[in-house]
Structure formats: structure tokens, C-alpha cells
Chains A and B, each alone.
Chain A
Amino acid sequence: DGGITQSPKYLFRKEGQNVTLSCEQNLNHDAMYWYRQDPGQGLRLIYYSQIVNDFQKGDIAEGYSVSREKKESFPLTVTSAQKNPTAFYLCASRTLNTGELFFGEGSRLTVL
């Protein structure tokens, strides 16, 4: 079955540690996205990539980093520079000529 897989679903981290969230898709989509969701707020765009080896900052990129070495994969690293990392993180993908986003099931990060 085609889809987007995010892992881990739940993650706990101590302050000062970097953590990497995985996102893999087998939909053959060109574009991939990372969003952050906080209670009472809409999804906010962190980073996006429209082609392998290229990515752009979204609205809240500070404290995050990404890579796009393969079409299928778009991992997100939450660095210790991110001031408020506890949130629900969503990965999405789509083909470049359609508007519909396909989302993964999300990763919930809690900083202790």
C-alpha cells in the first residue's frame, strides 16, 4: 500500500539533545513537507523540498534542519537550538502539479 510513514510515533528527549524524525513515502511524490502543530494553532510550515538535494525554509525553520538525499525520504532534525520543541510533527507529500497533500500519522515529541 502506498503512503507516508513517520517514525517514531512518540519520542521523549532531554533538553539539549538533538533528535531526528523519520519520514518515508512510496507515492513517488516530488514534494515533501514538514509541519508543526500546537494546540489551538494551525499547521505551521517548517521546511519543504520540491526536488532531491534541494529544500527551502518555511515559516518557522529556526532550530530545525532537514536533508533530501533520496526522493523517498525527508528526515527532520530538531536541534537543541529549538526553544520550544514539544509539539506534534507532521510530514506530508504531493506531486508538484496537484494541490492535495498526503500526510503521515505524525510524531509527538516531548521534551522533558
Chain B
Amino acid sequence: SQKIEQNSEALNIQEGKTATLTCNYTNYSPAYLQWYRQDPGRGPVFLLLIRENEKEKRKERLKVTFDTTLKQSLFHITASQPADSATYLCALAVTGGGNKLTFGTGTQLKVEL
């Protein structure tokens, strides 16, 4: 069966450090993968999209990598700040899937002073 897995345990890091979140998938032929941020009680907000033929994407302090051999995407936040504390969701669209997205369960990040 097809699965998207994110670390269900919360990630606690110190301000200024780099946070790294993982998204693993099985049995998908991906077209692209997206990362979203979700604050408690709010809707997710789009952060980055990376296509299956791209290795890395950057946006300000954010970096996403995509390894289709390992079936894994890594999401990095450099110089993390308490305001980065939120839940981060990855979402995968498969080739021929009509742009339909399947979401992971999300990983909660807490950045401490």
C-alpha cells in the first residue's frame, strides 16, 4: 500500500540551530512534493514545491531536498526562531494522479530560546 510517513514525535531544538524534518514515502511514483506549515487551529500554508527531477530548492531560510532513490524529502530551517514553531506537513502528488495530493501526518517543531 502507499504510505507517506513523517516523524510523529515532536522535534525540539534550540534557537539558532538548523531544524531538519523528514518525509518518507513508499510505493509512489512522485511528480512533485510540497511542504506546508500549519499553526494550531489554522489552515496549512504552502511553503515550497520540489519536482521529481529537482534535487534541492531554497527559499530564504528554508531548504528542501528530494531523493527519489531513497524515497525521501528533507526539509531544513536554518537559523531557527521561536516563530518557526508549528506543525510541518509534506504532501505528495503522483505521476498521472491528476495533481491529487496525499498528505503526511505532520511533524511538530518547537524552537526554544
Contacts and interface: CB of A to CB of B under 8 A. Distances in A.
Interface of A: 4, 6, 31, 35, 40-45, 48, 90, 92, 94, 96, 99-106, 108
Contacts of A106: 41-43
Interface residues of B, number: 23
A96 B43 contact: no
Contacts, number: 54
B43 A105 contact: yes
Interface in B67-108: 89, 91, 93, 99-106
Interface in B26-40: 32, 34, 36
A104 B102 CA distance: 18
Contacts of A92: 43
A99 B101 CA distance: 9
Contacts of A108: 41
Nearest to A41: B105
Given A42-B103, A43-B89, A104 B43 contact: yes
B107 to A, nearest CB: 11
Contacts of A40: 8, 105
B100 A96 contact: no
Given A43-B89, A45-B100, A105 B105 contact: no
Nearest to B47: A100
